[in-house]
Amino acid sequence: MPTLGVNIDHVATVRQARQTDEPDPVWAAVEAQLGGAACITFHLREDRRHIVDRDVPLLKEVVNVRLNMEMAIAPDVVDIACRTRPHQCCIVPEKREEVTTEGGLDVVRLGDRLQGVVSRLRDAGSVVSAFIEPDPAQIDASAAAGFQTVELWTGGYAHAADDESRQGAVLKLIEAVRHAHAAGLTVHGGHGLTYRNVGPVAAIAGFEEFNIGHSIMARAMFVGIRSAVREMDQLLRQHAPKE
Ligand code: PXP
């Protein structure tokens, strides 16, 4: 049964829109846990556009489920991760001009640069994950660089223009999960998953966690975070492959 990781960055985005202290993403993390989240995910970006340094130790303190820190390999962010020692660090590509993480990390190209960061984070006690496209070469490079987990980018599925390409994207994910398991990696997934489209991806065997942010926080505006998280968690359970 895959578990649900809830990304709380959007709450911090609303706060930063007014450079004030509400709404508090730390409070959102508590609400998400009360709704059944198995993991709280946040992204400390280099430009601190949503989550800021003040949030990180507070999240570490209030999160009693797994805490997943998304991050680029910027030295100051790596230092914060090593001090914080979240349960998991997920390395993502980061571009200042992007609205959100737009695709997977190019582990094939970055291999050597990643190895040192991965071993520092592992030595600090975190599980280290690579956010990559469902591509065998990226999976092999992730295993070689010392990652223990890969989070497969589900954007190819979520953004597919028609049924045929959506089906193709599902098959690509199925293959990638198999390939990652054969390489000894744990498999997570995320990006662009919504209440409407999550079913076929949740039904793929072998995913241990899905990280979902935008759709949950969009619904939370109307029904509250607890209910929004509970509904998504129920969908994952409903569609989970029979064990
Ligand atoms: N996983 C990773 C690594 C991400 O960067 C994001 C986006 O912040 C997500 C999952 C969640 O994506 P979404 O907000 O589209 O659900």
In DSSP notation, 110-165 reads: HHHHHHHHHHHHHHHT-EEEEEE-S-HHHHHHHHHTT-SEEEEE-HHHHT-SSHHH
Band of pLDDT at residue 94, cut at 50, 70 and 90: confident
pLDDT tens digits, 183-200: 999 999 999 999 999 999
Q: Please give the structure tokens belonging to residue 193.
A: 């998953």
Peptide bond into 241 cis (omega under 30): no
Evaluated on CA atoms 176, 166, 189, 49, the torsion sign reads positive
Residues with CB under 6 A from ligand 1: 7, 9, 43, 70, 90, 92, 100-101, 131, 151, 190-193, 211-215
Residue nearest to atom 5 of ligand 1 (CA): 101
pLDDT of 226? 98
What is the H or E stretch that residue 6 is in? strand 3-7
pLDDT of 95? 77
| Distance between CA atoms of residues 192 and 233, nearest Å | 16
pLDDT tens digits, 33-63: 999 999 999 999 999 999 999 999 999 999 9
Mention every residue, 6+ apart, whose C-beta is less than 8 A from residue 213: 6, 7, 8, 9, 10, 41
Q: What's the CA-to-centroid distance between 180 and ligand 1, angstroms?
A: 20
Would you say residue 102 has pLDDT above 80? no
**Whether 129 contacts 149, CB under 8 Å:** yes
What letters, b where the CB count within 10 A reaches 16 and e where it falls short, cover 15-26? beeeeeeebebb
Q: What percentage of the chain exceeds 90 in pLDDT?
A: 94
Higher pLDDT, 100 or 153: 153
The mean pLDDT of the chain is: 96
Band of pLDDT at residue 242, cut at 50, 70 and 90: confident
Q: Please give the structure tokens belonging to residue 183.
A: 């390489």
CATH code of the domain made up of 3-239: 3.20.20.70
Q: Please give the structure tokens belonging to residue 138.
A: 């990226």
Would you say residue 100 has pLDDT above 80? no
Which residue is catalytic, options 70, 133, 151, 209?
70
Would you say residue 112 has pLDDT above 90? no
Q: What residue type is assigned to position 93 of the chain?
A: P
Ligand 1: which of 43, 89, 99, 100 to mutate, judged by most atoms within 8 Å of the beta carbon?
A: 100
- When pLDDT is averaged across residues 210-225 and rounded to a whole number, the result is 98
pLDDT tens digits, 115-161: 999 999 999 999 999 999 999 999 999 999 999 999 999 999 999 99
Q: What's the CA-to-centroid distance between 70 and ligand 1, angstroms?
A: 9
| 3-state SS assignment for residue 41 | strand
